[in-house]
Structure 1
Amino acid sequence: MPAVFVLIWSTGFIVARFGMPHSPPLSFLAIRYALSVLCFGVWIAVSRPAWPRDRRQAFHLAVTGVLMHAGYLGGVWAAVKLGLGAGTIALLVGLQPILTALWVTAMPASGEAHSVTRQQWLGLMLGLGGLALVVWRKLGAGEVGAANLGLAIFALLSITTGTLYQKRFVAPCDVRTASFVQLLAALAVTAPLALLEPEAVDWHPAFIGAMAWSVFALTLGGSSLLYLLIQRGAATKVTSLLYLVPPCTAIMAWAIFHEVLTVPMMLGMVLTAAGVALVARTPTA
């Protein structure tokens, strides 16, 4: 499951490159959420899974949906639209495991069973160092501004808070109904904001293809896997998997768009994988 999640999640920036020239970010996401809600609704009607046990659980799911879908994806896609490179924002969002580990250490009652060990801290630092090597060549090119940097930080804080919030407050429930509630909440927040965007959607074949992949692979597949991983594993271990996303994205961009893959970048991928292994396999103290 973790390997499949990383592969699917890594396609997010590739899809953005295909879809963003033909749509403003929030409009794309609003359509994506609406179609995803429709798909989950059909799936639920056919399979009839259990719904969240009470209104409190539904509320907690809605909060995580706003944070992890509307906040995170909205910030990432808007930052890319404003010129922030995929590698740069991958590095910034890749700080999430560090923030998660800091929170777990400072607030041991925040939903984690144990504190972060020294070996896991070493893994987190190795992962961050490897991540920097992977995207280093994309930094310092004049692409960072106050607006897109602020949106990237907003995305980082949103997914970090959403991950910890879900681990702390959301009780185990069926991923289909949970995703339905999360996406409906994200749609309720994103759709009104999308109406304020002056740019119209161009239903270009690239846009349609990007939308189809976003709905079926990224939302129904990737987001559902992320929900299950958070539900079953420690937040620090789960978020450490995100260190593998930029290296995988770099390989995909090299294969699809012929982007340069340098020796330092490949070394960074090795360091990243080693860091993730330390975080994921070291037993907590």
Structure 2
Amino acid sequence: MFGGDLNKLTATLITVGFPLLFLLIWSGGALFSKLGLQYANTWSFLFLRAALALVLLFVLFGRKVKYKNMGLQTHAIEKSELYRIIISGLLLQVFYLIFYFSAIQTQLSLGIIILILGIQPIVTKLMASAVLNKIDIILLVMCFIGLGIATLGYHNIEQINLIGIVLAIFALLSITFGTVIQARITTEPVLTLLIQTISALGIFAVLTAVNGFVFSFNVYSLAALIWMGAIVSVGAFLLLTLMLRFRSAEKVSTLFFLLPLITMLFESVFFHTKLNGLTIAGDILVCVSLFLYQFKPFSAKK
């Protein structure tokens, strides 16, 4: 009776609901990271973020085992699958963050970092697609041009250095390869993220021990930690994993074009920064190009 409606609802969630929620959560993460790092050093904040996420994931996994599997089902994972889980987790949750924050610490202008990371959907398309469509490539290039226009209109390009650029490129490679590998994982999402978070926590624990633990506990730092540890590290990553199960890696990766734009919008609302005409024009170009890429309204129906 409700099968058709449920299928339509599921399709709507996958194509619209999940991506929109992911974008809002991940974009908000940029603001909460900025807030949290005012009261902590980078590695301490990332360590606590991973620790909080791990606690929540253990709770979620325990509930799934108890109530869904009745405590009887084992979760055997093939060695090759386990390697994929660990490698993609290290790339997405460890190396990407290490290179990203290290690039920022070199004083490289944020606009340059955004532009370098903005290449990610194009690189993912080239890596993951068996057949390259000329129109798809043109639309992705238009998205990148729009991102460049919006970024240059919003961020001042003041500091450029080779070390920062190299680190940003490594961050780009980490998130690109991590996304492609993550799309090949078939293990249950909560268990996948649990294994990945354990690996991340171990590395951030070592970095925190080497660099010293610095975290000032107050309402603002705890709010930032809860958002990044619970909402982003668990909620957003589970959404990303689910989207990669139902949609191709190159389709999902194009959402990253919108992340800097939504962050700019959030900053204009909460920090009263101004969006000039150049930034708005770039935003429109990205949105139109991305809509055409995702839904292809011009394509003939089969």
State TM-score, norm by structure 1: 0.88
- Cα 1:247–1:262, aligned 2, differ >3 Å: closer, same or farther? same
Are residues 1:163 and 2:187 paired?
Answer: no
Cα-Cα RMSD:
2.2
Q: Given the alignment, which residue of 267, 276, 295 partners 1:253?
A: 267
Question: Is the contact between residue 26 and residue 78 of structure 1 (CA under 8 Å) also seen in structure 2?
Answer: no
Q: Determine helix, strand or coil for the equivalent of 1:196.
A: helix
Structure 1 gaps, min length 5: 109-114
Q: Determine helix, strand or coil for the equivalent of 1:38.
A: helix
Distance in 1 (alpha carbons) for counterparts of 2:110 and 2:225: 18
Question: Is the contact between residue 123 and residue 274 of structure 1 (CA under 8 Å) also seen in structure 2?
Answer: no
- Residue 12 of structure 1 corresponds to 29
Distance in 2 (alpha carbons) for counterparts of 1:66 and 1:246: 23
- Residue 41 of structure 2 corresponds to 24
- Cα 1:194–1:145, aligned 2, differ >3 Å: closer, same or farther? farther
- Residue 238 of structure 1 corresponds to 252
Distance in 1 (alpha carbons) for counterparts of 2:170 and 2:125: 18
Q: Given the alignment, which residue of 99, 106, 123 partners 2:139?
A: 123
- Residue 229 of structure 1 corresponds to 243
Amino acid at match of 1:36: A
Q: Which has the larger radius of gyration?
A: 2
Distance in 2 (alpha carbons) for counterparts of 1:18 and 1:52: 40
Distance in 2 (alpha carbons) for counterparts of 1:246 and 1:98: 16
Distance in 1 (alpha carbons) for counterparts of 2:268 and 2:198: 35
Are residues 1:80 and 2:104 paired?
Answer: yes
- Cα 1:138–1:36, aligned 2, differ >3 Å: closer, same or farther? same
Deviations 1:115-144 (A, max 9, x none): 231121111011101101111045563233
- Cα 1:84–1:201, aligned 2, differ >3 Å: closer, same or farther? farther
Distance in 2 (alpha carbons) for counterparts of 1:10 and 1:148: 22
- Deviation of 1:198 after TM superposition, in Å, equals 4.5
- Deviation of 1:148 after TM superposition, in Å, equals 2.9
Question: Is the contact between residue 124 and residue 180 of structure 2 (CA under 8 Å) also seen in structure 1?
Answer: yes
Amino acid at match of 1:161: F
- Residue 70 of structure 1 corresponds to 94
Question: Is the contact between residue 126 and residue 274 of structure 1 (CA under 8 Å) also seen in structure 2?
Answer: no
Aligned length: 274
- Cα 1:191–1:209, aligned 2, differ >3 Å: closer, same or farther? same
Question: Is the contact between residue 85 and residue 195 of structure 2 (CA under 8 Å) also seen in structure 1?
Answer: yes
Amino acid at match of 1:2: P
- Residue 59 of structure 1 corresponds to 83
Distance in 2 (alpha carbons) for counterparts of 1:52 and 1:281: 38
- Deviation of 1:189 after TM superposition, in Å, equals 2.3
Deviations 1:183-218 (A, max 9, x none): 111222222122222462222432211111001211
Q: Given the alignment, which residue of 127, 136, 139 partners 2:152?
A: 136
Distance in 2 (alpha carbons) for counterparts of 1:199 and 1:85: 27
- Cα 1:252–1:232, aligned 2, differ >3 Å: closer, same or farther? same
Q: Given the alignment, which residue of 37, 51, 56 partners 2:54?
A: 37
Distance in 2 (alpha carbons) for counterparts of 1:116 and 1:31: 42
**% identical equivalent positions:** 26
- Cα 1:242–1:260, aligned 2, differ >3 Å: closer, same or farther? same
State TM-score, norm by structure 2: 0.83
- Cα 1:146–1:104, aligned 2, differ >3 Å: closer, same or farther? same
- Residue 184 of structure 1 corresponds to 198
